[in-house]
Structure formats: structure tokens, C-alpha cells
A and B are shown apart, each in its own frame.
Chain A
């Protein structure tokens, strides 16, 4: 078979400029389709990353306003009831403590969320560490965006108005929280901040639930701060939670579970609907982008076809000689398909390589500047499978484009071909 390769490669070299232009056509086609798809993939990853891992499987449950019926309150019993619904993976109760807080030269209204230790462990930290769980006072983990609740005491400038990188991190500081601010005996407590989450939209301030419960019991005089009271002015026997995070097995069950929770008299909210519409828009964008790329590739296919057709015409005599000498028709077909396949393969490999360069040195560099991406974030992502598929696709297109000219060559009558002038 060595001679087939020799014939093939020598011919491609001999027809240098035409070979080059054909490959260039494939390269441009591959670049356009790969880079357009890569932007689609990258943009989707960016958006999904912003949403955070479990966000799409998460339902936030709260009790109806001013409900005094015990079965409509979020107690351990109702948490357990929700946990038993189909497709619910886990339910995290949240106990909220409100207070006015001071830290460094800033102050602001703080909503501190007491959550189970298992929930704390699902958080991805950008800085610091999770609370140890030891000690008498709750230790805090700030959401990445939680500092935007605060403002500078002297100037009154809200931190939320500042650029992300200009906001102070409170990790290592102590938050001085004033409880019962409007009550008769406000008390102040200094709570350590041990860590900060990575989620850019996270505005919560978290602590461990049991520590918070013990702390609230200890610092409250009379009824427990933040807990509802009955007609007699006393706390209920059970803890009443302000809300609960329900994680379902898969995003597709979100609506079903939300309906069931509503039926039982609670409010349910999720961001899935928003994410869904976002996803739909992304899909449309991807299809449009890929469509534009396809047109470029189609032009490349026509280019290969044209090159192969002229290659066959130019070499009609050579084909005739091979046929007279007894070349199998199949082998002749193979010869030409090999040539067009090689054109496709070279174009595919170069195209993918250039796409990596363009996205790596161009698109992502510009996007990082313009869109202010963080380190590790990219607008255009070319996964390995896209590279492999693009090259295989280019080879297939080459072979398909070469097939009809090649079949025509294989079917030529030897004596006519050899005598062609």
C-alpha cells in the first residue's frame, strides 16, 4: 500500500497551491465552528458557575406570613415531613438571627443564618475555614457578597456600591452584633468571622445551628429572641425555623416538589425557572453560532469537492494507466478518498490548533479585560471532545466531498481515460 501513499502525497505536493488553498478552506471552516461552539460552552459554564453547584436543585421554603397554626410553622416535624416527600434528597432548616452589626469602620444590618453543620460543609470557601463547632458563641462564615449589606460609618458609602475587589474581607475580624436593638435591653456580642464563601452572589452570613440555639437561649431574657410566641406570650415547645433549604435529587423534580410543598401550606421558591430560561437562550445562541460555523464548513466542503474534481480531471491519464495496468476499482477509489481524507485531516488539525491559539491568546484575553472575569474563568472553552469531534468531522467531510469524484474516477473506462488528451 506504500505506493498509494506515495502517489497521494506526491500529487498533493505537486499541486501545492491548490492543496494549500483547499486546506485553508477547511481550516477556516473548522476554526469558525470550533470557536463559536467554544464560546457557547464557555458562556454556559460561566453562568452555571455563578449559580453555584446546588442552586438549580434547591427550593427555599418558608412559612406563610403570620400563620399561628402550628402545623404551618417550620418545626422539626414539618422539616421531617418535607424530607419524606419523593425526590427530596435532604432538607436543611435555617434559623435566622437578626441584629445590627459593627465591624472595623463599617456597620450594617445583619441577617445571620443558623444552619446544620452538614449544610456548612456544602459551602465552597474562597478564604478562611468553617467554624470549628466548639465554643459558646457562634462563629460566622460570610457569603462572598454579604459585606455589601454594610456601609462605612464615617462616609455612609455602601460596600455594595464598590467594585468587588475594593470590598474588605471580614475574615479574621469580629462582628459586634447588637441583638434586640429595638427591645428594652439591647445586648452586644462579638462573633468571630472564620471564613468567606466563593459564590459571588451569596449574601448570607452563616453559623452552626446548635451553637446558635444554645447561644440564643443563653442570652435571651424571658422569651427567646426571634422566636414566635403564643397567645400566652410564651415560646412554643419546639424551635420554629424561619426557612428551609430543600435539595431535590435532580433539577427536573424541582417543580413537582415545589407543588407538593405548596399543597401543605408553605411557600416555595426556586431559581430554576430563571435558570431554565437562561439555558434556553444559551441554547438558541449556540445553535445560531454553530449554524454560522456550518456555513463556513459547507464552503470548505465545496472547496474540497472542487479540488478533488479537478484532481481527477488533471490525472485522468494517470487513472487510465493505473486501470490498464490492472488496478482494482476499489483501490482507485481508496486512493482518491485517502487524498481528500488527508486534506480534511490536515485542515482539521490545523484548524483546531489555531482555534486553541485564538481562544487562548485572543478571545479569553480580551474577555478577561472587557468582562472582568476572575482568574480561572474563560469565555471560550474548547473541551478535548470538541477538538476530537472537529478533527473527525473534518476528515469525514473530506471523504464525503471526495467520494463522488473518486467514484467517477474508479468507473472510468480504462482505454478512454488513457487516450484522453
Chain B
């Protein structure tokens, strides 16, 4: 089953002389349960691809269907609902909320959806990511690797249709990076999640089911 479908998606930044192609007529699909690695030079449009799929940026033209829904037709409000229910984000810079505890950070997408968190499931994820004794800590009391594991837990907590990870190991040393990426991939497999992952690390990319290479806003390999 296709969980993500892009048809002729174009994203342009700026106007006139300063015009930059983010994405140029991109079409692709990702299947349920698939792990896809996106590689390419910086500025090639990898992040733009992830952002438009995740509904944090809107394309100029084309159609994006995620979990059966055309998200290019959603307004701001509906887009917020889409993001918190269907997407789990993992960023290079973790992006945890500094004033909330690890546990609260992890439950945030559920709280934002005005639902009561499934404590057992949240505990299960925290255990899986080795965070059970860090529950009440604030993000700045954790190491970089631990913070990224908390961010992964947050992305998983809501049982999203799709996990989008933008260079999740970029800010970590190689030992921590390997550990985090292994945990991410293990969790995704265990929970039968779909993952689209941007990485510069070719070893990490090789672990994926498929590699997509982007250059100048176009997919040049792995459609």
C-alpha cells in the first residue's frame, strides 16, 4: 500500500533573479512499512522534500497524498491536525521544548490533539529507547544522544502514519549517531512504521530499503 504519493510537485523559493528551485516536478511513492533514505548535496532539495511531505511547507504546484489524503488542499487549521495525527518529526537539532520534562515532551503531540495519552504505550516507547529513568529530566539535563532518543520517542508516541527524520545523527558523534540510528530503525521495524530519512552517512543510507538521490530539486536515482 502506498502511504505517500507525490505527483509533479514543484516548489520554488524567491522570485526573478533570486529564484531557486526547491523541488522540480518531483513524482514518487513510498510504501507502508518502507524505510527510505534520501541523500544528496546540501541545497539539493532534500529538506524541502521532507517539509512538503510533512505539511510544514506548501508546494507551488503538484499533488501530495499522505495516508489517502491530498494535503495540498488543507488549510492551516486542518494542516495542524494532519501533522499531529499523521506525522512524526525528528530533527537534527532535536527541537525539544526546553521548559517541559522528557515525558511531557514525548506526550506533546497527543496533548496537542486534546487526547489522553496512552501511558502504557508511552512507557513502552521510553523503555525501548532507554529513557525510562530520564522521564522527569529537562532536555538540557540530557546528553545529545539522549535528547535525540527523546525526540524519536516523541515522533513515535502518536503512532503516526509516517516518520520524517532530517539528519537525525547530524549533531552527534559517530558512536552516539550509530546508536541512535539503530534504535530509530529498530523501533520503526518493531512498530511497523514508515520512515523517510535524510542522511549524509552512506553507511546509514545502505541500511534503508531504498535510497533516493536528489540533485538540484530533482530525483536522479531511486524513484
Judge: A and B partners, yes or no.
yes
B112 touching A331, Cβ below 8 Å: yes
A329 touching B83, Cβ below 8 Å: no
CB distance from A133 to the nearest CB of B (A): 77
B99 touching A3, Cβ below 8 Å: no
B100 touching A325, Cβ below 8 Å: no
Question: Which residues of A lie under 8 Å from residue B154 when comparing CB positions?
Answer: 325
Question: Which residues of A lie under 8 Å from residue B108 when comparing CB positions?
Answer: 3, 322, 325
Task: Report A302-333 residues with CB < 8 Å from chain B CB.
Answer: 317-318, 320-331
CB distance from B32 to the nearest CB of A (A): 21
- Is B97 among interface residues, defined by CB-CB distance under 8 A? yes
Q: Mark B79-94, 1 if CB is under 8 A from A, else 0.
A: 0111111010101000
Contacts A3-B111, A7-B97, A414-B56 known; A329 to B104 CB distance under 8 Å? no
A325 touching B109, Cβ below 8 Å: yes
A328 touching B77, Cβ below 8 Å: yes
A415 to B84, CA, bound (A): 15
Contacts A331-B112, A415-B56, A415-B57 known; A323 to B100 CB distance under 8 Å? no
Q: Identify A6's interface contact among B54, B85, B89, B104, CB under 8 A.
A: B104
- Is B29 among interface residues, defined by CB-CB distance under 8 A? no
Question: Which residues of A lie under 8 Å from residue B96 when comparing CB positions?
Answer: 321
B56 touching A318, Cβ below 8 Å: no
What residue in chain B is nearest A418 (Cβ atoms)?
Answer: B95
Main secondary structure, interface of A, reads helix
What residue in chain B is nearest A7 (Cβ atoms)?
Answer: B99
A3 touching B109, Cβ below 8 Å: no
A321 touching B99, Cβ below 8 Å: no
Task: Report B142-192 residues with CB < 8 Å from chain A CB.
Answer: 154
Question: Which residues of B lie under 8 Å from residue A320 when comparing CB positions?
Answer: 95
Contacts A6-B100, A415-B56 known; A329 to B95 CB distance under 8 Å? no
Q: Report how many A-B pairs have Cβ atoms within 8 Å.
A: 68
- Is B222 among interface residues, defined by CB-CB distance under 8 A? no
**Interface hub of A6, A318, A414 (most chain B Cβ within 10 A):** A414
Q: Number of A residues whose C-beta is below 8 Å from B?
A: 24
Contacts A325-B84, A326-B81, A329-B76 known; A318 to B98 CB distance under 8 Å? yes
Question: Which residues of B lie under 8 Å from residue A318 when comparing CB positions?
Answer: 97-98
- Is A220 among interface residues, defined by CB-CB distance under 8 A? no
A415 touching B51, Cβ below 8 Å: yes
- Is A223 among interface residues, defined by CB-CB distance under 8 A? no
- Is A11 among interface residues, defined by CB-CB distance under 8 A? yes
A326 touching B97, Cβ below 8 Å: no
Contacts A11-B99, A318-B98 known; A324 to B112 CB distance under 8 Å? no
Question: Which residues of A lie under 8 Å from residue B57 when comparing CB positions?
Answer: 413, 415
A187 to B182, CA, bound (A): 123
A98 to B85, CA, bound (A): 97
Question: Which residues of B lie under 8 Å from residue A322 when comparing CB positions?
Answer: 97, 108, 112
A331 to B76, CA, bound (A): 13
A324 touching B97, Cβ below 8 Å: no
A11 to B98, CA, bound (A): 10
Q: A325-B109, A326-B87, A329-B80 are in contact. List 13 more A-B contacts (CB 8 A).
A: A3-B108, A3-B111, A7-B99, A318-B97, A318-B98, A320-B95, A321-B95, A322-B112, A323-B80, A324-B89, A326-B113, A329-B76, A413-B57
16 contacts between A and B (CB under 8 A): A3-B111, A7-B97, A10-B100, A321-B95, A321-B96, A323-B80, A324-B83, A325-B89, A326-B80, A326-B81, A326-B87, A327-B112, A328-B80, A413-B57, A415-B57, A418-B95
Top 5 nearest A-B pairs (CB, nearest first) are: A326-B84, A326-B83, A10-B99, A415-B56, A414-B56
